């Protein structure tokens, strides 16, 4: 498939929701808001509340209701080509036609978000599913260790470290995997589902940067999670993500071979453990300094 990046952030994070940016060159805000106020399919009180956060254009929906304030960075979850299959939304048609197009647009992404979270068995027939499973096995057999199986194992072990792992996540600490791809959003979601990754990546953790540089998306994601840049890494096999990581000053790990994935896991675990060791050293030094100050103060008091 096309180059993709999985970003990892860890530490004590505040919850973050990400929404799409206003689509440039369109008058989508007003017709979409009017449509949602009239009542969107599957929504409550005119707001498509069940739509997954990553499928929702939060900054577009923000004028709809004060109860749904926009949160997160203005990432482009959909491109102009995806959002504008016809010129109706570009201000060249009557308001009624534009409103109808906005309705189809909102319903389309709502339906897609619902489908992505369903098991593949509910979307395809058994013969097709078996054929895709055979293709995945054949792809895995081309490399040792198998790429897809190795990737899934690494993702799961980092999110939920097993008892045998030296890494123990503290309370309020988590590791987040984010996909930033140059593909359009719809093909990216389809590939994630076919490869069996839909159970690992929620739609709100998948971003299309078809219309903006990857470095911009990386910076916005790091800011949205509220963590230092040293707590983020970029993983990929292309020049775009490597250059983006270098521009932001975050570590980059090349994963051209499946064995590289295991090395990434080892480096992440070692990095977290090293940082914790440094934190313990700083705490111990601060405690020693406080105890020393108390000892000196007590000596003076005795002389008096």
Residue 96 in domain: yes
- For the entire predicted model, the pTM comes to 0.56
Residue 259 in domain: no
Lowest mean pLDDT among 78-82, 93-97, 102-106, 176-180: 78-82
How do residues 238-269 score in pLDDT, each as one tens digit? Answer: 898 999 999 999 999 999 888 899 999 999 89
Rounded distance between C-alpha atoms, residue 217 and residue 252, angstroms = 15
How much is the pLDDT for 244?
92
Range of the domain at 25: 19-116
Cβ-contact 300, 183 below 8 angstroms: no
How much is the pLDDT for 235?
92
How do residues 140-159 score in pLDDT, each as one tens digit? Answer: 888 788 888 898 899 989 98
Residue 290 in domain: no
Residue 173 in domain: no
Query: Please, how many CA atoms are within 13 Å of residue 288, restricted to the half-sphere of its CB?
Result: 6
How much is the pLDDT for 253?
92
How much is the pLDDT for 249?
92
Number of domains in the chain: 1
Contacts 24+ apart (CB under 8 A), 98-101: 98/27, 98/31, 99/31, 99/34, 99/35, 101/31
Residue 39 in domain: yes
Residue 107 in domain: yes
Provide the CA 234 distance to its chain's centre, in angstroms. Answer: 12
Residue 184 in domain: no
Residue 62 in domain: yes
205 is in an annotated binding site: no
């Amino acid at each position: 498939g096309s180059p993709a990046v999985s970003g990892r952030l860890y530490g004590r994070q505040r919850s973050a929701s990400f929404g799409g940016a206003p689509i440039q060159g369109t008058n989508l805000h007003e017709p979409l808001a009017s449509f949602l106020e009239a009542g969107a399919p599957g929504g409550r009180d005119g707001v498509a509340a069940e739509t997954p956060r990553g499928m929702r254009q939060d900054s577009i929906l923000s004028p709809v209701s004060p109860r749904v304030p926009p949160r997160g960075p203005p990432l482009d979850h959909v491109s102009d080509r995806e959002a504008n299959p016809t010129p109706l939304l570009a201000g060249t048609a009557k308001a009624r036609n534009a409103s109808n197009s906005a309705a189809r647009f909102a319903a389309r992404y709502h339906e897609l978000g619902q489908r992505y979270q369903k098991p593949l068995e509910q979307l395809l027939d058994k013969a097709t599913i078996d054929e895709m499973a055979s293709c995945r096995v054949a792809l895995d057999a081309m490399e040792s260790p198998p790429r897809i199986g190795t990737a899934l194992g690494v993702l799961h072990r980092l999110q939920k470290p097993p008892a045998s792992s030296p890494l123990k996540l503290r309370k309020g600490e988590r590791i987040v995997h984010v996909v930033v791809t140059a593909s359009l959003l719809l093909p990216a979601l389809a590939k994630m589902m076919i490869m069996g990754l839909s159970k690992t990546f929620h739609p709100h953790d998948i971003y299309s940067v078809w219309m903006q540089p990857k470095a911009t998306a990386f910076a916005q994601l790091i800011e949205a999670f509220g963590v230092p840049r040293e707590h983020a890494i970029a993983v990929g096999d292309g020049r775009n993500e490597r250059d983006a990581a270098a521009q932001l000053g975050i570590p980059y790990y090349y994963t051209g071979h499946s064995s590289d994935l295991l090395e990434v896991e080892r480096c992440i675990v070692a990095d977290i453990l090293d940082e914790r060791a440094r934190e313990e050293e700083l705490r111990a030094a601060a405690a020693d300094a406080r105890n020393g100050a108390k000892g000196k103060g007590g000596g003076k008091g005795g002389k008096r």
